[in-house]
Structure 1
């Protein structure tokens, strides 16, 4: 979408937003205060500052702009608020709050909608080892011919770095780079499309890219602690009811404790509500799907709703786990998978989570093949770890709890 078309849509929405704010003002005040006018000017300035700074939306798997919206709006309102204090200009907090909220809703919904339906055209340069059939759902792919002008390639070219290039193809890639035309690697776009990073195609450079963002990592630890405390307080009545129900079914232990592998391959004790029958015995580590007869009726309901995981908020407070991260595995399985799956131990670079990208995307795993798929989702989380991805996982987790997808 061209910039001028974006400005047109932004203008239309702004007049709608202005009418809403003016309607609220006329309903709330008998006369029109001067504070409203100054606040509307601030909202107007920040809104169009954001429209100018943000690039036009493009295909979501090429480069999403959604993550830049909130920082841009916060920057605009931050500067404006500083100017209000500096020049001692009176303002209306409700107008600024409503204007900022409506602006945020508009830009996020506009970019998310446009990026989802936008189908950019990329030109193929060189041979391809990987299939690009799945990419045609999001992109229009055309073969490049030497007679083409570089201006036709403005959206970018697609290459496969795992195959050799001819001298002419290397020249095309070099010319595009110099002309600031995007050069996309097929493996990177496949990652964004499928939301996973295959361990079978990891190179040394890719492994280094899996190192989590240290800045957000520190913020994430604080958020985990705060959310865990709030979750324990809010869910306390539910946990008391679960404890009573478990005790009423033949007594036995309320909590199930098991050793799991955490960050840096360190083991810890994981807590869950007991979902197995008390008389059943376990001599070796097994997947839950291998012993369904051992699960009680109450336990099946708890697993379906994921309420059996509530005690793991205590693991978060202890520092053993995070709210979001790769699910912790039993030591025997972790050793087995480390021998069978390349780079498996790299998932232990972060704290394991109560929920994670693999859980909300793939669901439950019960063998080596499905664990390879799960690891690909874990690597995607490590590579693209951010507040946006964590927020998406929170929303998907609520959906999983509601429909019971992946529970076992």
Structure 2
């Protein structure tokens, strides 16, 4: 059976050592050699040596961050290489600038550009030479897998592998499989071939944890990392303080623009369901006209923002699209009521409506609500119960995979979301 054997050129491309050493050689040495061709003795200058050392550190950090977050759904795409390396190089060279060390701008810029170029080309080549393939054992709930893109599915008709190489085997391990299929699964595992349960692979590829009820096992798997909760809260607090201080002039300009555009206060306050089910007052820049249509609508309808909502002001539409209206929630983060990243807090009236329709909805409050989150970057703004159930699947995926790596993914996707205006209302 053809499982793990790859042609040599494919095997080389997938090796971590080749990717990293090749990337370092290409991104660090090429700019240095170009400079040395003009000034041969520049290699002995302290600014070039400092820059090369910093670039190596930034490159290695960017590589491992990219590899690590690539375990999450959809982030192995080439589009995430640029922001990842921009983040790693930016952090390193901001540190150099802070300590006022001399460095070579040509070497720094060249290393950054060649790093992104190397991994972009490597990603495209790897996807073409070695697309992800999974063999599917019939039975149970495996039929739903064909709807998931990005994978070549091989539906097996007999307990033997297809002629093409596959990366693993997928089966519904809770289904009543024949003795032949069970032996096939055992042989696959003994041969070193990954065997996935259908639910496990579905969650990994879609970024959703689909549930029908909360069992004891579900509660255990959805228990977030308590140590990371404490670390994240400290990082959130310092980030909120920095935003409140650094963006104070912007806040003043936005507040003036809101007051000139329509009558009413610049800040909007709303009670929402927060951490562990406690009610909090969330702050936002006001993006709607005050008291428009409130007489004719009940409390639940007033809390819902629909597409092309007539209450949204001219400046408010821009604020919503750019997500600037969310910035005052840094106050909530500073007060320990919210996080920068987590499930979005809903208005109290909407939260109670969803809890009545979805008995396990309350479990999303086990982590602090966030200004942005996994559901927001994947699904956008929703209000109807059926859509909220899908949103809940994303929230539970975030809770189950609660980690700094997933937060980095959400941060990068949030940047793309803000630039594209995805999900804004």
Q: Distance in 2 between matches of 1:41 and 1:318?
A: 40
Among residues 256, 266, 271, which one is paired with 1:244 in the alignment? 256
Counterpart residue number, 2:366:
349
Name which of structure 1's ranges 335-344 and 259-268 shifts more when overlaid on structure 2: 335-344
Among residues 260, 264, 275, which one is paired with 2:287 in the alignment? 275
Could you say if the C-alpha distance between residues 397 and 61 of structure 1 is closer, same or farther in structure 2, counting changes exceeding 3 Å?
closer
Q: 1:247-294: per-residue Cα shift (whole Å, max 9, x none)?
A: 234543221111111111111110111223234346513312299233
Counterpart residue number, 2:211:
199
Q: Distance in 1 between matches of 2:341 and 2:251?
A: 21
CA contact (8 A) 2:133 2:167 kept: yes
Among residues 185, 198, 216, which one is paired with 1:173 in the alignment? 185
Could you say if the C-alpha distance between residues 252 and 154 of structure 1 is closer, same or farther in structure 2, counting changes exceeding 3 Å?
closer
Could you say if the C-alpha distance between residues 174 and 342 of structure 1 is closer, same or farther in structure 2, counting changes exceeding 3 Å?
farther
Name which of structure 1's ranges 135-144 and 302-311 shifts more when overlaid on structure 2: 135-144
Deviation at 1:167, TM superposition (A): 2.4
Q: 1:98-151: per-residue Cα shift (whole Å, max 9, x none)?
A: 9996897578546654665542333222413242212464123140523559x9
Q: Distance in 2 between matches of 1:153 and 1:308?
A: 50
Could you say if the C-alpha distance between residues 28 and 325 of structure 1 is closer, same or farther in structure 2, counting changes exceeding 3 Å?
farther
Q: Any unmatched runs of 5+ in structure 2?
A: 1-5, 89-101
Counterpart residue number, 1:231:
243
Deviation at 1:325, TM superposition (A): 0.7
CA contact (8 A) 1:259 1:330 kept: yes
Q: How does 1:14-25 map to 2 (within 5 A)?
A: 15-17=25-27, 18-25=29-36
Look up the SS of the partner of 2:145 in the other structure. coil
Q: Distance in 2 between matches of 1:193 and 1:233?
A: 40
Deviation at 1:338, TM superposition (A): 1.6
1:325 and 2:336 matched: no
Name which of structure 1's ranges 152-161 and 266-275 shifts more when overlaid on structure 2: 152-161
Could you say if the C-alpha distance between residues 400 and 290 of structure 1 is closer, same or farther in structure 2, counting changes exceeding 3 Å?
closer
Could you say if the C-alpha distance between residues 202 and 158 of structure 1 is closer, same or farther in structure 2, counting changes exceeding 3 Å?
farther
Deviation at 1:199, TM superposition (A): 2.5
Q: How does 1:81-120 map to 2 (within 5 A)?
A: 105=116, 109=120, 112-113=123-124, 117=128, 118-120=130-132
Could you say if the C-alpha distance between residues 158 and 404 of structure 1 is closer, same or farther in structure 2, counting changes exceeding 3 Å?
same
CA contact (8 A) 1:59 1:119 kept: no
Q: How many corresponding residue pairs?
A: 380
Look up the SS of the partner of 1:30 in the other structure. helix
Could you say if the C-alpha distance between residues 276 and 19 of structure 1 is closer, same or farther in structure 2, counting changes exceeding 3 Å?
closer
Look up the SS of the partner of 2:154 in the other structure. strand
Deviation at 1:407, TM superposition (A): 1.6
Counterpart residue number, 2:229:
217
Q: Distance in 2 between matches of 1:237 and 1:161?
A: 58
Q: How does 1:259-274 map to 2 (within 5 A)?
A: 259-274=271-286
**TM-score by structure 2 length?**
0.73
Look up the SS of the partner of 1:196 in the other structure. coil
Q: How does 1:131-170 map to 2 (within 5 A)?
A: 131-135=144-148, 137-143=150-156, 145-146=158-159, 155-170=167-182
Could you say if the C-alpha distance between residues 279 and 133 of structure 1 is closer, same or farther in structure 2, counting changes exceeding 3 Å?
closer
Counterpart residue number, 1:89:
none
Counterpart residue number, 1:4:
12
CA contact (8 A) 1:62 1:189 kept: no
Counterpart residue number, 1:84:
none
Q: Any unmatched runs of 5+ in structure 1?
A: 75-91
Q: Distance in 1 between matches of 2:120 and 2:353?
A: 45
What value does the CA root-mean-square deviation take over the aligned residues?
Answer: 4.4
Q: How does 1:179-190 map to 2 (within 5 A)?
A: 179-190=191-202
